[in-house]
Amino acid sequence: MSYVNWIRGCVGSQQIFLVFATVILEDENGRILLQRRTDFDFWGLPGGVLEPDEDIESCARRELLEETGLSVGALRLVGIYSEPKYNVVYPNGDQVQQFTVCLAGRVNGGKMQADGVETVSQCFVSLDEAMALPLPVWYRDMLADYAQGKEPIVREPVCTSPTVDQITQIRPFIGHQLYIGPGAMVLVVREDGRFLMIERADEDNFWGFPAGFSDLGENVSRTAQREVYEETGLIIQPERILGVYSAPDFHYTYANGDQIKNVGVLFRARPIGGHLQLDYHEVRRAEWVTPAEAEKRITLPPLRRLFQLAITHLDEGYFIC
């Protein structure tokens, strides 16, 4: 059973987060693939929902092949699309706040054939031709960012009022079962090059970085800003997307038995205000440390790998894992 079918069987049609991978597929002439969807009857880009046992790039490749018959070479990150303005209600009434990782790459094999289930037709078109169509706002924004060809854009923090805690909302329906929870982690870098580390008080007392799950009604940049402030009292400005994490080794089981698959964006940010004032329910200590000191304190292997990738891309580039 797919993750979507399972979770909808638990929660019904109420609004939830779903994590999507979307692919902007180029042909040898630089045209992009559009598909005519069966559920909404509009033109869009290939993609679909992340499953618990895969990472976001594997999801993108799987969905592309299933829907179009085509495979893709190297993928680059276009951006993260989690704004409430991208919320969607499916024809059956299911409500979703999208948390979409958009990737782009060039076709490198396969035979183009619409699956007839999610896609009824497809074709390669120029970017101008695509933008002339009445595309949904999320696809239009993805293509606009893709056209710039720059590193992934950090969107301004956005939230609606009121917001809803996704974990508090979902647990009464699914119990301890594995839930795919999107969110953010933040590498706050001071002018002297030191990083803000926190020792968590709510679980295993491990050292890490400010992080948390997105609330329904906010985008992931706002999640980063909110979590740092709630946990440490600091106001930050997200500057760069260092990477996206979604691999199965980011599964975590809490002391109470709750299982989570962490999917999120790691931001580099700078402090712009506030002062250290810890939320002692979640944070035992906070310190500004050097990169070497930070790595020594990290005991969780997935977090150590994440930090090492972040250091590699601290000033340029990004990772997808």
User: Is 73 a residue whose pLDDT tops 70?
Assistant: yes
The angle that helices 166-174 and 3-11 make with each other, rounded to 10 degrees, is 90
Residues 202 and 290 in one domain: yes
Residues 201 and 238 in one domain: yes
Among 112, 130, 148, the domain boundary falls at 148
Confidence of residue 203 (pLDDT cuts 50, 70, 90): low
> What secondary structure, in 3-state letters, does 276-292 show?
CCCCCCCEEEEEEECHH
User: Is 44 a residue whose pLDDT tops 70?
Assistant: yes
Q: Which helix (H) or strand (E) holds 63?
A: helix 56-68
Residues 203 and 246 in one domain: yes
Residues 135 and 181 in one domain: no
Print the domain residue range for 294.
174-320
Does a structural domain hold residue 4? no
* Strand 259-274, strand 179-188: pairing: parallel
Query: So what's the pLDDT on residue 161?
Result: 84
Count of the separate structural domains present in the chain: 2
Does a structural domain hold residue 166? no
User: Is 157 a residue whose pLDDT tops 80?
Assistant: yes
Does a structural domain hold residue 165? no
Residues 117 and 213 in one domain: no
Does a structural domain hold residue 34? yes
Omega before 238 within 30 of 0, i.e. cis: no
Residues 116 and 180 in one domain: no
Residues 103 and 188 in one domain: no
Does a structural domain hold residue 311? yes
Residues 107 and 178 in one domain: no
* Mean pLDDT calculated for residue range 174-202: 95
CATH number of the domain that residue 274 is part of: 3.90.79.10
Reading the block at residue 145, the tokens are: 């960012």
* Phi, then psi, of 68 in degrees rounded to 5: -120, -15
Residues 39 and 118 in one domain: yes
Q: Which amino acid is at 104?
A: A
Among 195-199, 200-204, 313-317, which is the least confidently predicted range? 200-204
Distance of CA 20 to CAs 81, 188, 294, Å?
9, 27, 32
* Mean pLDDT calculated for residue range 194-212: 89
Q: At CA 200, angle to CA 195 and CA 203, rounded to 5?
A: 150
> Which residue in 193, 196, 178, 165 sits closest to 288, CA to CA?
196
Does a structural domain hold residue 180? yes
Residue 116 makes CB contacts below 8 A (sequence gap 6+) with none
Cβ(39)–Cβ(133) below 8 Å: no
Residue 16 makes CB contacts below 8 A (sequence gap 6+) with 7, 95, 96, 97, 166, 169, 170, 216
What mean pLDDT is reported for the chain? Answer: 94
Residue position matching structure tokens 């018959």 = 69
Cβ(23)–Cβ(56) below 8 Å: no
Reading the block at residue 16, the tokens are: 């939830």
User: Is 101 a residue whose pLDDT tops 70?
Assistant: yes
Query: So what's the pLDDT on residue 126?
Result: 97
Residue 231 makes CB contacts below 8 A (sequence gap 6+) with 198, 210, 212, 278, 279, 282, 283, 286
* Phi, then psi, of 301 in degrees rounded to 5: -55, -45
Query: So what's the pLDDT on residue 201?
Result: 84
Does a structural domain hold residue 282? yes
Does a structural domain hold residue 306? yes
Residues 204 and 300 in one domain: yes
Among 130, 148, 166, the domain boundary falls at 148
Residues 113 and 66 in one domain: yes
Judging by beta carbons within 10 Å of its beta carbon (0-12, 13-18, 19+), is residue 203 exposed, middle or buried?
Answer: exposed
User: Is 217 a residue whose pLDDT tops 80?
Assistant: yes
Residues 281-297 pLDDT 10s:
889 999 999 999 999 99
Distance of CA 267 to CAs 57, 152, 211, Å?
19, 11, 10
Residues 130 and 197 in one domain: no
Three-state DSSP class for residue 184: strand
CA 137, CA 183: separation in Å to the nearest integer? 22
CA atoms within 13 A on the CB side of 126: 3
90-104 per-residue burial string, b: 16 or more CB within 10 A, e: under 16? eeeebebbbbbbbbb
